[in-house]
Structure 1
Amino acid sequence: MTSKMGAMGAVGLACAATLIAGTAFAASPGYRDVDAENTLVIDTSKGRVIVEMYPELAPQHVERMKTLTRKGFYNGLKFHRVIEGFMAQTGDPKGTGEGNSDLPNVPSEFTIRRDGAFPISVIDDTRGVVTGYVKAMPVQTQTNGLMAITKDSRVSAWGMYCSGALGMARAGDVNSANSQFFLMRNYNNVLEKKYTAFGMTLVGLDVVRKLKLGEPPVDPDTMTKVQVLADIPVAERPKIEVMDTGSSEFKALIEAKKKEGRAEITGCDVPVPVKVLP
C-alpha cells in the first residue's frame, strides 16, 4: 500500500467493535477503561470514530500519530482514498495521496520481536501460529517454542488487518511511513507484515463504512477534528469501556465461538465488546 494505496480484494469476517448501551461509568466485570493517552477521537463529517492504539506493537507509529494530532495537523484533512470492501485513507495535507507532514519518515514496525512476557491473550495455537489479542488488537505470532532456537530468544508478532484496524500508509520504501493512515472497512490479510498495524477502531466502524467512496471521492468527507482522548477535559470525554481480552468473560466468548464447530478461529472472528456509557 503506497501513499496512493492500490485496491486489493478484501473479503473476510468483520471485526467491528460491538456497542452496548451502559447506565453508569464504572468498571464493569470483565471490562477495562480505554487507554486515554493512546486513544484518538476522530470527529468526521460522517460522525465520530474512536481508535485505540498499541505502543506494544509499534511505539514509533503511535508516537507519530499523537505528535501530529497534538499539533492539529489532521484537522480538516480529507479522506482522499476510500475503497469499498477495503479501507479509508487520510492524513495527506495535499489531499492527493502524495503529501506528508514535515517530520522525518517513520521506520517500519511491521512485526515486533517478543519474549515470553509479552502481553498477548492467546485464543488459538494450531498449525505453528499463535493467534490472540494485545488489548483489543488481534495479533498473530510465532510459537514460544521457537524462542529456544532464535539468537535473541524472541519470536515475531504482528497485528492483523481485521475490520477496524488502523494501519500506516507508505510508499515503496518500507521506511517511508509519515502522516497518512488508513482504517480497514473489512478484513484483508494481504497487508499483514507489509504495513504497520497498530490500532483498532473501538467506536464508529459504521462511520468508516459510510465515508464517500472514490480515489479521490467527489466532495470527500473530512476529519473535522482529531484529539488524543487524554487531552479532552474529563467531563467532556466520551466514556468507554472495553472488554478485557484476558478476562474470563472474554474467554467465555471464545469458547462459545469454538463450540460452533469451526476448526480454528482468529481475532477477526470474535469482535471485542465495547460499552459506550452515558
Structure 2
Amino acid sequence: MAEIKDPENTIIMELKDGRVVIELLPDVAPKHSERMKALARAGAYDGVIFHRVIEGFMAQTGDVEHGNSTKDYNPRRAGTGGSDLPDLPAEFSRLPHQRGSLGAARSQNPNSANSQFFINFKDNSFLNGQYTVYGQVIEGMEHVDKITRGEPPANPDKMIWVKVAADV
C-alpha cells in the first residue's frame, strides 16, 4: 500500500477492480481539495458513475446531481450537474496534467468547477493551465485503467464509495 503522508488530504476511492488512493494538493488548489473532502464526507460521491471515459485521454465522474446510479441516474443528463454548493473559482497552476493527475471538470467558464473531476489516463499537456489540477493518484492507477469506456458507457462503472483517509 502507498504511504499516506497526510491522511486529512488523501482520498480513498473504491472501484469494482480495487482501491484507488489520491493525494490531494491543498497547497496548490485549496478550494478544490476542500470541496472534494466535503463531498466525500457527505457520501455524495458514493455510487456516482463515470459518465465520460475516453480511451487514451481520461475518465470523468462526480456528477452528484445526475450521476448516482442508485438514485437518479439519467444517462442523457449525466455530466450536466454538480452539487448544491456554489461553483469554485479556477485555481490554475504550473502542475502538468500527467498520468494519474486529478483535474476539475468545468464548462467553458473557467470558474464553473463544482463536483465533477477527471483522472488522466496519460500525460495531457494540452490541458495545462486551463483546468485546475488538485490531486494525484498514488496507488491503484491500474484500476482506473480498467474503467469502462464510453460517452456515456453502455454499462458505466461507478465509484462504490469515496472517503477521506483520515476518516477510514
What is the TM-score when the length of structure 2 is the normalising length? 0.90
Contact 2:4/2:10 (<8 A) preserved: no
Structure 1 gaps, min length 5: 1-18, 21-31, 112-157, 233-278
Which residue in 1 is equivalent to 2:105?
169
- Structure with higher Rg: it is 1
Counterparts of 2:63 and 2:134, CA distance in 1: 19
Counterparts of 1:35 and 1:208, CA distance in 2: 22
Higher strand share: 1
2:125 paired with 1:189: yes
2:41 paired with 1:70: yes
Counterparts of 1:193 and 1:41, CA distance in 2: 26
Counterparts of 1:184 and 1:174, CA distance in 2: 19
Which residue in 2 is equivalent to 1:34?
5
Which residue in 2 is equivalent to 1:85?
56
Identify which of 80, 84, 109 aligns with 1:98: 80
Which residue in 2 is equivalent to 1:109?
91
Which residue in 2 is equivalent to 1:220?
156
Contact 1:46/1:221 (<8 A) preserved: no
Deviation at 1:47, TM superposition (A): 1.6
Which residue in 2 is equivalent to 1:229?
165
Counterparts of 2:5 and 2:143, CA distance in 1: 20
Residue 230 of structure 1: SS of its match in structure 2? helix
1:117-170 CA distance string (max 9 Å, x none): xxxxxxxxxxxxxxxxxxxxxxxxxxxxxxxxxxxxxxxxx2111100011000
Counterparts of 1:207 and 1:193, CA distance in 2: 27
2:18 paired with 1:47: yes
Aligned length: 157
Residue 60 of structure 1: SS of its match in structure 2? helix
**Runs of 4+ deviating beyond 2 Å:** none
Counterparts of 2:31 and 2:81, CA distance in 1: 20
Which residue in 1 is equivalent to 2:137?
201
Counterparts of 2:153 and 2:19, CA distance in 1: 20
The one-letter code matched in structure 2 to 1:191 is: L
The one-letter code matched in structure 1 to 2:154 is: V
* CA separation of 1:33 and 1:43: change in aligned 2, threshold 3 A: closer
Identity, % of aligned positions: 49
1:175-208 CA distance string (max 9 Å, x none): 0000000111111001110000011101111111
Deviation at 1:34, TM superposition (A): 2.1
Counterparts of 1:35 and 1:182, CA distance in 2: 22
Let me know the Cα RMSD of the aligned residues: 1.3
Residue 126 of structure 2: SS of its match in structure 1? helix
Counterparts of 1:223 and 1:166, CA distance in 2: 15
What is the TM-score when the length of structure 1 is the normalising length? 0.55
Residue 160 of structure 2: SS of its match in structure 1? strand
Which residue in 1 is equivalent to 2:71?
none
1:2-47 CA distance string (max 9 Å, x none): xxxxxxxxxxxxxxxxx78xxxxxxxxxxx7521100000001222
Residue 220 of structure 1: SS of its match in structure 2? coil
Structure 2 gaps, min length 5: 68-77
Which residue in 1 is equivalent to 2:74?
none
